[in-house]
Amino acid sequence: MALIVQKYGGSSVADTESIKRVAKRVVETEKKGNKVAVVVSAMGDTTDDLIDQALSIDSNPPEREMDMLMTAGERISMSLLAMAIHAEGSRAHSFTGQQAGFFTDARYGAAHIKAVRPDRVKNALSLGDIAIVAGFQGINAKGDATTLGRGGSDTSAVALAVALGADICEIYTDVDGIFTADPRIVPSARRIPSIDYESILEMASCGSKVLALRCVEYAQRFNMPLHVRSSFSRRPGTLVVPDGIDPRTLPNLD
């Protein structure tokens, strides 16, 4: 049995049909004998829509209130995914960033994770439930909601995987892994089967948008293997692995 953290981005949970498809994939992973925790982003363009609504009301909204607003998107997708998993016949329990134990500094809009104490997530997993966690968010020392900035759900997923002692963190997106160039622009781009942290950090610093820079730095610091793959296909993705780890020893790579 492996403990797997899966992260699904906004394009993977863009609408209810997409959420149902993700639920089937999560349940399939569980039925293979794994414990599964899932981190989700907001549905599709929800975050951008919320920002537009805020700016239409106040051209310079208070940072605290913006973070309160921004956490709403992930709360919607986490609860809908938990319902979809229930409809598939499995048990799921959803948690906000605060409920999942994500403690951050006080910087609104671009907070940094200071600690993750996922007691309630661990308890859900021990009961055989699938744990669904809202990405991109946490709570500061004042008790206020905070957000981690763009790409924050990737960082949430890696931080949760580290705190749980997961075997691997799977990052699901809309492309089949990491390529030599953007395959949507360059048809001849080739998928990279595996890559080390330094190389992916260099790609991220040069503008690659497959993985957030902070996410990779966090994974490197704690030697957490990553598997970047598509939620829209079953093709192999790209493994980001620590030195000395044989990719063939990692779980759930089919």
Q: Where are the domains of the chain?
A: 3-249
Nearest 5°: phi and psi at 7?
-120, 130
* Summary mean pLDDT of the chain: 92
Whether 93 has a pLDDT exceeding 80, the answer reads: yes
CATH homologous superfamily for the domain 3-249: Acetylglutamate kinase-like (3.40.1160.10)
Integer Cα distance of 75 and 97 in angstroms: 9
Per-residue pLDDT band for 208 (boundaries 50, 70, 90) equals: low
- Residue 234 or residue 39, greater confidence: 39
**The predicted structure's pLDDT at residue 203:** 81
Output the pTM of the full model.
Answer: 0.94
Whether 254 has a pLDDT exceeding 70, the answer reads: no
Torsion angle of C-alpha atoms 82, 42, 202, 181, degrees rounded to 10? 100
On whether the CB atoms of residues 37 and 243 are closer than 8 A, the answer is no
**Residue that the structure tokens 């994500």 belong to:** 102
Whether 52 has a pLDDT exceeding 70, the answer reads: yes
**The predicted structure's pLDDT at residue 242:** 82
Torsion angle of C-alpha atoms 205, 211, 214, 217, degrees rounded to 10? -80
Whether 55 has a pLDDT exceeding 90, the answer reads: yes
Looking at residue 234, its amino acid is: R
Paired strand residues for 5: 37, 169
**The predicted structure's pLDDT at residue 150:** 80
On whether the CB atoms of residues 148 and 113 are closer than 8 A, the answer is yes
Candidate from 47-61, 193-207, 211-225 with smallest mean pLDDT: 193-207
- Residue 193 or residue 118, greater confidence: 118
Integer Cα distance of 195 and 225 in angstroms: 11
**The predicted structure's pLDDT at residue 204:** 73
Per-residue pLDDT band for 249 (boundaries 50, 70, 90) equals: confident
Region 87-112: mean pLDDT is: 97
Give me 89's structure tokens.
Answer: 């016949």
- In the chain, the N- to C-terminal Cα span, in Å, equals 15
**The predicted structure's pLDDT at residue 202:** 84
Give me 44's structure tokens.
Answer: 């599709």
**The predicted structure's pLDDT at residue 162:** 98
Closest C-alpha to 127, from 103, 162, 155, 92: 92
**The predicted structure's pLDDT at residue 225:** 95
- Residue 192 or residue 180, greater confidence: 192
Q: In what order do the strands lie in the sheet with 102-104?
A: 113-116, 102-104, 137-139, 145-147
Give me 39's structure tokens.
Answer: 């981190």
Whether 115 has a pLDDT exceeding 80, the answer reads: yes
Whether 252 has a pLDDT exceeding 80, the answer reads: no
Length in residues, the chain: 254
Closest C-alpha to 170, from 31, 20, 15, 34: 34
**The predicted structure's pLDDT at residue 245:** 76
Nearest 5°: phi and psi at 253?
-100, 10
